[in-house]
């Protein structure tokens, strides 16, 4: 064999060795046990991730935080998660939720999560835009229900309240408010609304949403117990409903955040420099925006706190579209991210 052929063979062997080493390295990283460091402090618990690991779209339960994870080997070039992970709040150990894992290098993955103490939901997305929404029973550790969307018929804005799922679906012409009982498998159409411009929001006993067919200022309430409806006219074009009680709801208009009382049929300005578009709420009096936290009992009973916003300026993400069950958010600390679980008692409230 002449020198030229020997050099070619050597180059090929080196490339093969490097390729095998790279593949082994990827497999090792992909199968590395993920965990967080759990640090308990006086008024909060910190779940500290490893360098390069990011968390988003979380569901908080008593013993486990369910989350999507952004880390090398777990997301592809489309930056979509390949599984839902559960973080044990005591040990920090992370485990994949059975049935949620997707092909490591495929083009489909997990777009977002939702749920409550009993049920975990996630939305699977393909590269072509098709979605599948999955409901998983946490105690039984099994998938209960799937909805498959398409360009012609879409399912979106899913919420789990108690043992019932609520969502919107559209065929492009009309929109439907739907529900599904996870105990009886009974599906029910609750209302027909405009095809676009509607999202669902929840207080303790009511579901709130817009029906743009009635006009931009109209608001609907559906009582989750009685099945009765209420229709209100706010008289203004609004967006981003944030219920704070069964008779109180905050909404955004322009650069301001307003509060509406359905019994008094009256609105007041909550903050003229905080439109609350990115706000989270618990449906029972608490609203947290990127500027301020609000504790609301009635139109004249409003207190304020900037503790979260001052301790984590421009650096706290609640990572859910649902009403929040707790003060659970993600913050970036240098090379790593932390999940913060803060006690509401830590917030220092002041009158305006």
Overall pTM > 0.75 = yes
Place of tokens 């939305």: 123
> What local confidence, expressed as pLDDT, does residue 105 receive?
66
Residues 307/293, Cβ–Cβ less than 8 Å: yes
Instruction: Per residue of the chain (352 residues), give pLDDT as tens.
Output: 555 444 544 444 444 444 444 333 333 344 457 899 999 999 999 999 998 888 999 999 999 999 999 865 444 445 678 899 999 999 999 999 999 988 766 678 899 999 999 999 999 988 777 899 999 999 999 999 999 998 888 999 999 999 999 999 998 888 999 999 999 999 999 999 987 778 899 999 999 998 878 777 889 999 999 999 999 999 898 988 999 999 999 999 989 999 999 999 999 999 999 988 778 999 999 999 888 999 999 999 999 999 998 898 877 888 775 689 899 999 988 778 999 999 999 999 998 7
> What local confidence, expressed as pLDDT, does residue 333 receive?
83
> What local confidence, expressed as pLDDT, does residue 336 receive?
86
> What local confidence, expressed as pLDDT, does residue 135 receive?
98
């Amino acid at each position: 064999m002449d020198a030229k052929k020997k050099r070619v063979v050597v180059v090929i062997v080196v490339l093969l060795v490097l390729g095998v080493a790279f593949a082994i390295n990827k497999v090792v990283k992909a199968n590395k046990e993920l965990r967080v460091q759990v640090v308990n402090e006086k008024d909060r618990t910190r779940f500290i991730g490893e360098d390069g690991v990011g968390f988003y779209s979380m569901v908080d339960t008593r013993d486990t935080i369910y989350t999507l994870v952004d880390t090398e080997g777990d997301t592809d070039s489309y930056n979509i998660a390949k599984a839902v992970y559960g973080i044990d709040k005591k040990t920090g150990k992370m485990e994949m939720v059975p049935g949620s894992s997707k092909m490591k290098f495929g083009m489909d993955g997990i777009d977002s999560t939702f749920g409550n103490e009993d049920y975990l939901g996630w939305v699977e997305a393909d590269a072509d835009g098709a979605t599948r929404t999955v409901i998983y029973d946490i105690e039984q550790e099994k998938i209960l229900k799937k909805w498959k969307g398409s360009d012609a018929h879409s399912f979106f804005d899913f919420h789990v309240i108690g043992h019932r799922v609520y969502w919107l679906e559209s065929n492009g012409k009309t929109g439907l408010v739907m529900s599904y009982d996870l105990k009886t498998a009974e599906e029910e159409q609750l209302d027909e609304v405009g095809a676009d411009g509607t999202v669902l929001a929840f207080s303790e006993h009511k579901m709130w949403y817009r029906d743009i067919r009635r006009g931009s200022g109209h608001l609907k309430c559906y009582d989750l117990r009685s099945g009765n409806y209420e229709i209100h006219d706010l008289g203004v074009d609004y967006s981003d409903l944030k219920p704070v009680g069964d008779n109180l709801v905050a909404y955004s208009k322009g650069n301001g955040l307003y509060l509406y009382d359905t019994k008094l049929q009256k609105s007041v300005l909550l903050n003229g420099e905080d439109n609350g578009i990115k706000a989270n709420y618990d449906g029972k009096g608490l609203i947290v925006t990127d500027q301020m936290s609000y504790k609301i009992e009635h139109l004249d009973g409003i207190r304020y706190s900037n503790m979260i916003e001052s301790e984590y300026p421009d650096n706290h993400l609640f990572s859910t579209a649902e009403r929040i069950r707790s003060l659970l958010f993600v913050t970036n600390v240098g090379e790593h991210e932390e999940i913060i679980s803060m006690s509401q008692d830590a917030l220092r409230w002041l009158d305006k």
